[in-house]
């Protein structure tokens, strides 16, 4: 009986091992391409035509490719522009501006085929650098990603357990932006 059962159990083992391969961790992306979804911890990343979008359930950032260090972000339902000095400017917050931000993000997301699996980026500290336009993303500390602009010394830091981000200005001051509410269903 064991001789007869032997080959069939080998077949079963082969079938069982296939799903395990799908669960293996994916290799980190070496570049960020349009039309492909990426992630780092709980943050989703998508490259649009002229911006890089990074969002979680707490905050969303829009990094314009040609920017000299400013970027737009939504936190606690409000849209603001962050400047390299570390002073966020809330004057751009109107329902029209927020819907335009969302529309551009949705347009970038719609370029991704629904069946496409999100690829991880910068899962461990190391020398890897991902560059999009004037922005570069690096992971130099466990549980942190630093976003730098080529035109300045300022940095935006995403931390694994922070529902928001830390902004280090070009003057070396650190400002923490922590969400008190989640972004809502349009960002899920």
Q: Convert the pLDDT of each residue in 149-185 to its tens digit.
A: 998 889 999 999 999 999 998 888 899 999 999 887 7
Please report whether residue 125 resides in a domain. Answer: yes
Average pLDDT over residues 48-68: 93
Query: What share of the chain has pLDDT > 70, as a percent?
Result: 82
Please report whether residue 50 resides in a domain. Answer: yes
pLDDT at 39 over 80: yes
Please report whether residue 100 resides in a domain. Answer: yes
Q: Higher confidence at residue 27 or residue 98?
A: 27
Please report whether residue 28 resides in a domain. Answer: no
pLDDT at 19 over 90: no
140: nearest Cα among 128, 150, 130: 128
Each residue of 76-96: pLDDT tens digit? 988 999 988 887 887 656 667
Average pLDDT over residues 59-85: 91
pTM: 0.81
Total domains in the chain come to 1
- For 80-89, give one letter per residue: b (16+ CB within 10 A) or e: bbbbbebebe
Q: How many CB atoms lie within 10 A of CB 79?
A: 23
SS3 32: coil
CB 33 within 8 A of CB 47: yes
Please report whether residue 5 resides in a domain. Answer: no
Please report whether residue 22 resides in a domain. Answer: no
For the four alpha carbons of 73, 75, 80 and 84, in that order, the dihedral sign comes to negative
Range of the domain at 179: 36-187
Please report whether residue 19 resides in a domain. Answer: no
How many whole angstroms separate alpha carbon 168 and alpha carbon 159? 13
Please report whether residue 86 resides in a domain. Answer: yes
73: nearest Cα among 172, 144, 161, 175: 175
């Amino acid at each position: 009986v064991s001789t007869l059962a032997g080959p069939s159990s080998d077949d079963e083992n082969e079938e069982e091992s296939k799903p395990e391969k799908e669960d293996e961790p994916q290799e980190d992306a070496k570049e960020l391409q349009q039309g492909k979804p990426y992630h780092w911890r709980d943050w989703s990343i998508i490259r649009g035509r002229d911006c890089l979008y990074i969002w979680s359930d707490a905050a969303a950032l829009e990094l314009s490719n040609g920017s000299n260090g400013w970027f737009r972000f939504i936190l606690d339902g409000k849209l603001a522009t962050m400047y390299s000095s570390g002073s966020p400017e809330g004057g751009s917050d109107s329902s029209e501006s927020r819907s335009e931000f969302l529309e551009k993000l949705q347009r970038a997301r719609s370029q991704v085929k629904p069946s496409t699996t999100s690829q991880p980026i910068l899962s461990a500290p190391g020398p890897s650098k991902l560059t999009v336009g004037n922005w570069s993303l690096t992971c130099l500390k466990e549980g942190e990603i630093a976003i730098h602009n080529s035109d300045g010394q300022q940095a935006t830091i995403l931390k694994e357990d922070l529902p928001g981000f830390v902004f280090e200005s070009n003057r070396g001051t650190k400002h923490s932006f922590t969400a008190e509410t989640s972004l809502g269903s349009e960002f899920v």
